[in-house]
Amino acid sequence: MVGGAARRRFGAGYSAAQRLASRLRTAETPLIVGGRTMTDDALGRLALARTAQSRVEELATGAQALALLTLVHERGWTGFLAEPRGLDQLAAFSRLPVDRVANVVGALEALGFVEQHDGQVRLSPAYAELSADDAMTDLGNVLDRAELMIRLVREAAEDEGDVRLGDAEALTIAKVVGGRPTPVTQAVFQHLYAEVPEYADAVRDGRLLDVGCGVAGATLASASMFPNMRAVAIELVPAVAAEAENRAKNLGVADRVEVRCMDARDFDERDAFDACFWAQPFFPEPFRAGTLRMIWGALKPGALLMIQEMESEPQDEAQRVPFALRRLVYEGQRVPFAPTAEQLVAEAEAAGLVPHRMVPTNFGRIVLMRRPEEG
């Protein structure tokens, strides 16, 4: 017998296979295969095999869709379809026959990438926003990370050693996670800071330490919002640190945001910062305790540390597969995956920091810790 877990896991594929098996069982004429009558046991096995086949085909469809989106973005369709275009215009642009273009558009429409109205094709509202110049995250970066994660999943399951990212791969991930310093990004941080006003007050006219800054999206957005804020942003990967530094220069805040490429554990400025943000999801286990001890020393007595609970066990069955695959990759890098807010508090307490408060937000639970006034 196959229970509810299989139905939830395989969805439509399971149901279709079960319907097939049911029809075969109730047929007036027994099904003869290779001169033998199929038994109930054989029909059950057929249903299970069809279930697995359907699931593989669903996964293959996702890979095919990613390949198509990546191709049309690389070929410039995204920018071209920011305005309504006819199929003949698309054919001239892509140098494909009109009938082929019609099929490509049909597939893109099924994926929600484009919409068609009165013979005109344009990006759907969702993809238009992701492709906008002021989008927090760029579509090209999202597609690059999706391709990268496919390779990293294979590496994590194939090799016994740690999963290692090269500079270019780390930059690909950092660009998506950190976003870009745009008005949309500022609006996001305005909402976040409203949830943690004491942290915002510390940052507004104070000195911020961003530990594991990536491309410094959070720090640069904050620097744009708070003209009196000063910051030091620490990043281990040279290519990522260079990108953060270039963004600070382009934004005109390089005189207030200093990017340092180094192991965070070696940072030795003490009693100097009014607030700190620690990007904990990117720190492997061997780095974490030493980094927290450094943060304790760098903060002024009474100053705040913010830590974000980035992942949590999904309640939605549809999210369990991507969650499990991300865990495979991150733990392959020896990074604790999806620590709870309570576990993050315990980590910080072990370094001598004390709890201030825990804040549920739309961005996950936020942990605020404080360096004791004495000590």
Domain ranges of the chain: 1-58, 179-313+335-370
The pLDDT value recorded for residue 159 is 86
How far apart are the C-alpha atoms of 135 and 117, rounded to whole Å?
Answer: 25
The pLDDT value recorded for residue 31 is 57
Q: Does domain 179-313+335-370 have CATH number 3.65.10.10?
A: no
The pLDDT value recorded for residue 44 is 83
Tokens linked to 223: 């620097």
pLDDT tens, 302-351?
999 999 999 988 888 889 999 999 999 999 999 999 999 999 999 999 99
How far apart are the C-alpha atoms of 260 and 237, rounded to whole Å?
Answer: 10
Of 9-23, 62-76, 172-186, 194-208, minimum mean pLDDT range = 9-23
pLDDT tens, 125-143?
999 999 999 999 999 999 9
The pLDDT value recorded for residue 82 is 97
pLDDT tens, 342-359?
999 999 999 999 999 999
How far apart are the C-alpha atoms of 329 and 333, rounded to whole Å?
Answer: 7
Residue 296 neighbours by CB distance under 10 Å: 20
pLDDT tens, 194-253?
999 999 999 999 999 999 999 999 999 999 999 999 999 999 999 999 999 999 999 999
Which stretch of DSSP H or E encloses residue 116? Answer: strand 114-117
Torsional class of 115: left (φ above 0), alpha (ψ -120 to 50), beta (otherwise): beta
Residue 261: strand, helix, or coil? strand
pLDDT tens, 156-206?
999 889 999 999 999 999 999 999 989 999 999 999 999 999 999 999 999
CB 81 within 8 A of CB 120: no
The pLDDT value recorded for residue 46 is 87
* pLDDT of 118 strictly over 80: yes
Torsional class of 334: left (φ above 0), alpha (ψ -120 to 50), beta (otherwise): left
Q: What is the pTM of this model?
A: 0.85
